[in-house]
Chain A
């Protein structure tokens, strides 16, 4: 049974996790023009989840986050490959990327590229793999 005197850890975690998640998403979206991208974004997000695992026990976190991380990693890779196949459908070479500018309601004029879908796949694969490793090792104990 867990000790009950980790109030400070729990309170700090509640705030810190939000900050880390925001930072992870920021890293993910800034990848095109600044340091960042799918790999670090995914790792930072996995860090946030790991912090949750450390503070609360794995079962209760898993209850609130019912995701099969192995399937998540596979889906990520599938998304990444299929963005490449998308280029083939338009009779371009595999992995040809397309981009365009859109007027989004909140952000104004924004550049959207298919490279971002590829990055999303990378991020999902990284999160899925990292979490699978951590959960598998901890379950064996």
Chain B
């Protein structure tokens, strides 16, 4: 039992609820927001050190032992994601201080931001399928409000689509849970894993697993990403950044969790389908990224490419592939938030998202320009930066598993990604500057700090990859051996011959 596990969920929840009561006091809300997220980050850092020292940490809520109660379990994979998401959301929050506007601030922006984190953290930590559904809903309902808060025309239009798609996928999620409960009779992840292993993953269970793949694919933007480009370009920059950094990642996390812990018996079917879906996702996303001349659209399609790439690592099913997926997931959370923040800043300065109307920004904003350059190289996977290690491992994993086509598509789309972001850099930052002080639409005061911090983080992640290896190694170990997770949650006697 370790009560620390619940803190990343209840700290933002309690703080957010308190903020609802003190709605008008914006400065208090800002300070509380920073404190809450920093507290969550500190807790996850402590969790990481505990997991490193003594294995997977488990909390049985209310003292009811698994599989009868709701369990929370933190292995290294979820703890790393928890820490990364707290850091990134902290900087997105700081970015929001200067950019979100007073109207949104007094209408519960900060509480909703924290409720979103409550849902995300809960999804990362939970060890129960139905509780995962509830955490998804906490996250999604906050995101419904965040996407429409402010009530501009485009936001309202896109939020209708977003809500419709997610209500549909949530009901499919519920149906999938019902099927699984009807066949297996339990909802605890560890117990599910034991029961599925005992029953042998027959055709029915594989079909249910594919239904879960569709559900999480809708959430993560794996092939079923038709809703994503519109929804992510509607809300204000800080909100779009946190969406791009976290929401799809929760779907990816769920896919990785389900297909390494529960449905790992038929990789020839499930993992191959994931591989095909991620290859298509990468190709279609990359085509979208190079097709547009709209900054928002380009970076939104890059989110989709990232989803495909991470799940290619899972599809390989090898330790190398999973190592790569973990590295790339952490890198992707940071760099997508960074890219959205920079893109939003460019739009705030110039007042347009059309690349053809922008040029020569580097003369007035050299720091912004070079930070975008670093972010772009990092996204494409140029060696000293954080995207490189993940890409190397994922490619190695896919080659090892015999999916050479998958690795090749990954490398090819990396080129297209590089082209798409370099298009922003060369058209937006190079060239003749016609932008003078008087026709700037906005200022960058206070906006550059979070961008600089995230840039430093992506460099540090690339340079310090060796230091993270000890942690990601543990994460891969627990993902490759479901028995570790089962033993931690259910105790020794539940683990059968494996």
Contact: B20 with A74, CB < 8 Å? yes
Complex Cα distance A30/B63, Å? 24
Q: Which residues of A contact B181 (CB under 8 A)?
A: none
B17 touches which one: A81, A85, A93 (CB < 8 A)?
Answer: A81
Asked if B68 CB lies within 8 Å of chain A CBs, one says: no
Asked if A57 CB lies within 8 Å of chain B CBs, one says: no
Complex Cα distance A82/B6, Å? 13
Asked if B468 CB lies within 8 Å of chain A CBs, one says: no
Q: Which residues of A contact B59 (CB under 8 A)?
A: 93-94
**Contacts A81-B10, A81-B14, A85-B10; is A93 near B21 (CB within 8 Å)?**
no
By size class, the interface of chain B is 10 to 19
1/0 per position for A16-28, CB-CB distance to B under 8 A?
Answer: 0000000000000
Complex Cα distance A95/B59, Å? 11
Interface size on A, residues (CB 8 A): 19
Give chain A interface residues in 84-133, CB to chain B under 8 Å.
84-85, 87-88, 92-97
12 contacts between A and B (CB under 8 A): A71-B21, A75-B17, A77-B17, A81-B10, A82-B14, A84-B6, A88-B6, A93-B3, A94-B10, A94-B59, A94-B62, A95-B61
Asked if B60 CB lies within 8 Å of chain A CBs, one says: yes
Q: Can you name the residue of chain A whose Cβ is closest to the Cβ of B60?
A: A93
Q: Which residues of A contact B6 (CB under 8 A)?
A: 84, 88, 94
Q: Can you name the residue of chain A whose Cβ is closest to the Cβ of B70?
A: A95
Complex Cα distance A121/B238, Å? 32
Contact: B3 with A78, CB < 8 Å? no
Q: Which residues of B contact A97 (CB under 8 A)?
A: 62
Complex Cα distance A82/B62, Å? 13
Give chain B interface residues in 354-370, CB to chain A under 8 Å.
none
Give the distance to chain A from B223, nearest Cβ to Cβ, in Å: 36
Asked if B18 CB lies within 8 Å of chain A CBs, one says: yes
Q: Which residues of B contact A82 (CB under 8 A)?
A: 14
Q: Which residues of B contact A96 (CB under 8 A)?
A: 62-63
Complex Cα distance A133/B1, Å? 40
Q: Can you name the residue of chain A whose Cβ is closest to the Cβ of B59?
A: A93
**Contacts A93-B60, A94-B59; is A88 near B3 (CB within 8 Å)?**
yes
Across chains A and B, the number of contacting residue pairs, with CB separation under 8 Å, is 47
**Contacts A93-B62, A96-B63; is A74 near B1 (CB within 8 Å)?**
no
Q: Which residues of A contact B10 (CB under 8 A)?
A: 81, 84-85, 94
A75 touches which one: B3, B21, B61 (CB < 8 A)?
Answer: B21
Contact: B1 with A93, CB < 8 Å? yes
1/0 per position for B340-380, CB-CB distance to A under 8 A?
Answer: 00000000000000000000000000000000000000000
Contact: A94 with B3, CB < 8 Å? yes
1/0 per position for A55-91, CB-CB distance to B under 8 A?
Answer: 0000000000000001101110110011011011000
The 6 A-B pairs at the shortest CB distance, nearest first, are namely A74-B20, A94-B6, A95-B62, A74-B17, A96-B63, A93-B63
Complex Cα distance A71/B18, Å? 9
Q: Which residues of A contact B279 (CB under 8 A)?
A: none
Give the distance to chain B from A70, nearest Cβ to Cβ, in Å: 6
Contact: A92 with B21, CB < 8 Å? no
Give the distance to chain B from A135, nearest Cβ to Cβ, in Å: 16
Complex Cα distance A73/B21, Å? 9
Contact: B20 with A70, CB < 8 Å? yes
Q: Which residues of B contact A78 (CB under 8 A)?
A: 14, 17-18
Give the distance to chain B from A37, nearest Cβ to Cβ, in Å: 17
1/0 per position for B44-79, CB-CB distance to A under 8 A?
Answer: 000000000000000111110000000000000000
Q: Which residues of B contact A87 (CB under 8 A)?
A: 62-63
Q: Which residues of A contact B18 (CB under 8 A)?
A: 74, 78
Asked if B87 CB lies within 8 Å of chain A CBs, one says: no
Complex Cα distance A81/B59, Å? 16
Q: Which residues of B contact A77 (CB under 8 A)?
A: 13, 17
Complex Cα distance A88/B10, Å? 12
